[in-house]
Amino acid sequence: MQLEGPLRKMSTYYGEEIRYTLRLGDDLLFMNALLGRNIEISFNGNHTCFCGHLVSEVYRQNFCRECFFTKPEASPTIMKPELSQAHLGIEERDLEFEKRLQLQPHYVYLAKTDRIKVGVTRNTQMPFRWMDQGAKSAAILLEVPNRYIAGEAEVALKNHFVDKTSWQAMLKDDSTDEDLMESIETAKSLLPEHLKQFIFKDSVEWYFNYPIKHQIKKVKSMNLKAPDDRVQGELWGIRGQYIITENGVFNVRSHSGFMVKMKVT
Ligand SMILES: [Zn+2]
């Protein structure tokens, strides 16, 4: 089986075991079914930006030069919700886009991987965001009306909870023993008074079970950088947006837009 096209992040489906699909060109692969098979991904040196342009050089998050400096999808607010200003009617790059994105309900959550982290996501991205992170479990702390307030809560909790976790530890399944729901209670008590009205009632802990055939002990990262680079190996599992093989791990999301050929044997 040989497929070709720009890599995009895998789609996830929640269930007893998380299911992953990968779209490549016109094909849709059900990745769980490929565990135990040999996978080879080779890079032809070009990238397709989300705007459709084919380019040989990309900026952070694989945007082409023009998108990186001008499109609202690539603006600094995307990474830092606390910089949001659409609720004040202030434009960053495209006020209509920013209003659509920012002035909608968001969740502030705690997720457990190697540690317990605090994060922010649009309501519509849940539980997908957690599966993309490879979280072991997660629970909602607050439901707020816009992205700015979510960012404010996140900043208030950053002194106590981390906002980044180690992907290496996540892939080795090194996880904290801390109880997530106890941490939710701690977080509630740490919130500034004016944010307590947004506490999410009846929060439950969601658990995520990834398709993993062999648990890796050592994490070796495999990357595509130059034309003709290739990664290959027997597929051992998938967690977050990582393909785990006998030879190392491959982050699909960080290669989004890379023009590749994929062979499954
Ligand atoms: Zn572009």
% of residues, the chain, pLDDT over 70: 100
Mean pLDDT of the region 78-83: 86
User: The pTM is what?
Assistant: 0.91
From the CA of 226, how far away is ligand 1's center (Å)?
A: 20
Spacing, Cα 71 to ligand 1 middle (Å)? 8
Which of 173, 190, 207 is the endpoint of a domain? 207
pLDDT at 212: 97
Looking at the fold, whether 198 and 112 belong to one and the same domain comes out as yes
Sign of CA dihedral 60, 120, 7, 246: positive
- Residue 135's nearest CA partner among 175, 77, 101 is 175
| Cα 174 to middle of ligand 1, angstroms | 37
Residues 188 and 109 in one domain: yes
pLDDT, average across residues 169-187: 95
Look up the domain containing 123 and give its range: 69-207
Residue type present at position 7: L
Least confident residue range of 34-38, 77-81, 109-113: 77-81
pLDDT of residue 215 exceeding 90: yes
Last residue of a domain, one of 160, 175, 207: 207
Q: What distance in angstroms lies between residue 69's CA and the mean position of ligand 1's atoms?
A: 10
Q: How far is the CA of 20 from the centre of ligand 1 (A)?
A: 26
127 C-alpha vs ligand 1 centroid, how far in Å?
28
Question: 108 vs 35, 43, 177, 243, CA distance in Å?
Answer: 34, 37, 22, 28
Instruction: Find the 224 Cα to ligand 1 centroid distance in Å.
Output: 20
Number of domains in the chain: 2
Residues 38 and 131 in one domain: no
62 C-alpha to ligand 1 centroid (Å) = 9
Same domain for 144 and 187? yes
233 and 194 in a single domain? The answer is: no
User: Distance from the CA of 95 to the center of ligand 1, in angstroms?
Assistant: 19
Answer yes or no: do 75 and 191 share one domain: yes
Among 207, 227, 250, the domain boundary falls at 207
- Dist. CA 184–CA 261, nearest whole Å: 44
| Main-chain dihedrals φ then ψ at residue 143, nearest 5 degrees | -120, 120
Q: How far is the CA of 96 from the centre of ligand 1 (A)?
A: 19
Residue 121 shares a structural domain with residue 27: no
Going from the Cα of 91 to the center of ligand 1, the distance in angstroms, rounded, reads 21
Same domain, 79 and 199: yes
Cα 26 to middle of ligand 1, angstroms? 21
Q: What confidence tens digit (pLDDT) does each residue in 196-210 have?
A: 999 999 899 999 999
Are residues 56 and 185 part of one domain?
A: no
CA of 202 to the centre of ligand 1 (A): 42
In angstroms, the first-to-last Cα distance of the chain is: 7
Query: Residue 80: pLDDT above 90?
Result: no
Percentage of the chain beyond pLDDT 90 is 89
Residue with tokens 């106890």: 182
Greatest alpha-carbon span in the chain: 58
Whether 83 and 200 map to the same domain: the answer is yes
Same domain, yes or no: 125 and 242 = no
* Ligand 1 center to 240 CA (angstroms): 25
Task: With cut-offs at 50, 70 and 90, classify the pLDDT of residue 155.
Answer: very high
Together in a domain, 148 and 42:
no
Mean pLDDT of the chain: 94
Query: By mean pLDDT, which of 8-17, 70-79, 181-190, 210-219 is the weakest?
Result: 70-79
